[in-house]
């Protein structure tokens, strides 16, 4: 399909969502979810960045049966704290876009809860364990 309706313009400044790659769709979902969390916890998350990587780099001696879905990277003198989502393992566990959105929310809420030392239920009202 071609035509002006598929290109970015005044009605669709980002272009047609269906034309975005899976990576772009995931990034947009992750940013929106993190933005919601930052709005709820502005001072606590002000110095924390969100990053998305395709897959985690696992050491050769990795013995766990599961692959991590996210990671927290503590701040250093040269870089801020970072929450890193691993796109492919998360997408692999989601059957639908709704599942994907719920899983991204769950993973981010659990990471933020661990960093802040509060129960996940206190981080976001839509959080549901499992």
Q: Which CA distances in Å does 98 have to 15, 89, 93?
A: 22, 16, 12
pLDDT of residue 8: 63
pLDDT of residue 41: 95
Give CA–CA dist 52/94, Å, rounded.
Answer: 17
pLDDT of residue 71: 95
Mean pLDDT of 113-124: 94
SS (H, E, C) 59-71: CCCCCCCCCCCEE
pLDDT tens-digit readout, 1-30: 444 555 666 666 665 655 678 899 999 999
Mean pLDDT of 104-119: 95
pLDDT of residue 1: 45
pLDDT of residue 10: 64
pLDDT tens-digit readout, 36-86: 999 999 999 999 999 999 999 988 898 888 999 999 999 999 999 999 999
Provide the CATH topology of domain 19-56+64-123. Answer: Zincin-like (3.30.2010)
Instruction: Sort 93 into a burial class: Cβ within 10 Å, 0-12 / 13-18 / 19+.
Output: middle
């Amino acid at each position: 399909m071609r035509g002006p309706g598929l290109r970015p313009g005044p009605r669709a400044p980002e272009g047609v969502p269906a034309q975005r790659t899976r990576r772009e769709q995931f990034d947009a979902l992750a940013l929106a979810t993190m933005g919601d969390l930052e709005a709820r916890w502005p001072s606590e998350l002000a110095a924390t960045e969100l990053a998305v990587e395709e897959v985690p780099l696992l050491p050769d001696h990795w013995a766990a049966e599961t692959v991590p879905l996210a990671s927290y990277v503590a701040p250093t003198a040269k870089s801020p704290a970072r929450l890193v989502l691993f796109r492919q393992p998360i997408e692999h566990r989601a059957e639908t876009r709704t599942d994907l959105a719920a899983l991204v929310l769950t993973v981010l809420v659990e990471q933020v809860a661990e960093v802040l030392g509060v129960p996940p239920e206190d981080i976001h009202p839509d959080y549901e364990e499992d």
